[in-house]
Amino acid sequence: MMKVPTSKAILFFVLSVLLSLVSWATAYADLNDFLQCLPKFSESSYPIIETIYTQKNTSFQYVLNAYIKNRRYSTPTIPKSMAIIAAMHESHVQATVVCAKQHALHITIWSGGHDYEGLSYVSSVPFIILDVFNLRSIEINVTYESSWVQAGATAGELYYKIAEKSKVHGFPAGVCPTVATGGLISGGGYGPTMRKFGLSADNIEDAKLVNVNGTILDRNAMGEDLFWAIRGGGGASFGVILSWKIKLVRVPAKVTVFNVTRSIEQGALDVLYRWQYVAPKLPKNTYIRATSQVSNGEGKKKAVEVSFSGHFLGQIYELLRLINESFPSSKTASK
């Protein structure tokens, strides 16, 4: 039976719609004051005005959509931010935080846009996006086996920069190359070398964060508790991460990767069953993940297949010996 809304419920609904209209309207009124506040708190040699995209800017939609990875959150009914501040300098981040606080405006912090729930660019209250994708410098220091990486740099860019400087160093970050280190590392960060080196967050030596007062803090200034929290607790709960000092890890100059796919007829279930017991016990330099996907079977029928993709910190002959020892049934499975 359908429930008929009572007059109280209708009144409540109307009131909440009105309230939300009022709150968006007052927020838009505050927006101008907020925008005028920004230059006062940022370095004048880096004009912050050039980083502001209000909804009137012709590039607003383009800038907004460029980093939305979950298209479900780019539909017209999803509330849009009043403005995007695409910071080009650390002082732009400081100014955005200080002015948003002064004018009681909500900000979301955006690096690579891979948030599964769109938390970095969607909000139910009027808001402004603080976009740090332009802050993406990477300074590799091979001698000290460390590197300063800004929050907007992606995992792929980091891998590339390290490889340019050294063939025997790496960093344990994501499988996906387009996640940004801002969200990735503050949420943990897992990838193909995690069995050997742990999470990205386990390999951080220092960080720079803008706190609620707009002050830049490094590890020493923020203290060990906050430094602990931003390595897994989600950065946006605590401040804006500007950069991480990461520890480079030593890897062989040549590594081996593979991707083997089996259909059900080819014994995918047997291999998957065995994988559960074998994969966690393999030497730490070996990583095999299993993903199942829908494939086109015979006569356009949907079928299931399983892919085993692996990463081995060594060369192919060592890997083959290892696989022969640990997967005695892999020969039957590959028939």
Ligand X SMILES: *[C@@H]1O[C@H](CO)[C@@H](O)[C@H](O)[C@H]1NC(C)=O
Ligand Y SMILES: Cc1cc2nc3c(=O)[nH]c(=O)nc-3n(C[C@H](O)[C@H](O)[C@H](O)COP(=O)(O)OP(=O)(O)OC[C@H]3O[C@@H](n4cnc5c(N)ncnc54)[C@H](O)[C@@H]3O)c2cc1C
Residues of this chain that interact with ligand Y (CB under 6 A) are 69, 108-116, 119-120, 132, 151, 174-176, 179-180, 182-184, 186-191, 234-236, 240-241
The binder of 65, among ligand Y, ligand X, none, by C-beta within 5 to 8 A per type, is: none
Residues 49-78 that bind ligand X (CB under 6 A): 50-53, 57, 59
In the complex, least distance from residue 179 CB atom to ligand Y, rounded to whole angstroms: 4
Residue (183 or 267) nearer to ligand Y, CB: 183
| CB-based contact 205:132 (threshold 8 Å) | no
Residue type, 79: P
Work out which of 28, 144, 160, 258 binds ligand X, going by CB under 6 A.
144
In the complex, least distance from residue 5 CB atom to ligand X, rounded to whole angstroms: 44
Residue (30 or 145) nearer to ligand X, CB: 145
Of 242, 237, 268, the closest CA to residue 332 belongs to 268
In the complex, least distance from residue 72 CB atom to ligand Y, rounded to whole angstroms: 12
Work out which of 4, 259, 302, 335 binds ligand X, going by CB under 6 A.
259
Residue (58 or 124) nearer to ligand Y, CB: 124
Residues 203-232 that bind ligand X (CB under 6 A): 211-213
In the complex, least distance from residue 192 CB atom to ligand Y, rounded to whole angstroms: 9
Residue (20 or 290) nearer to ligand X, CB: 290
**Position 261 contacts ligand X (CB under 6 A):** yes
**Position 269 contacts ligand X (CB under 6 A):** no
Work out which of 23, 66, 321, 328 binds ligand X, going by CB under 6 A.
321
Give residues in contact with ligand X (CB under 6 A): 50-53, 57, 59, 141, 143-144, 211-213, 259, 261, 293, 307, 309, 317, 320-321, 324, 331
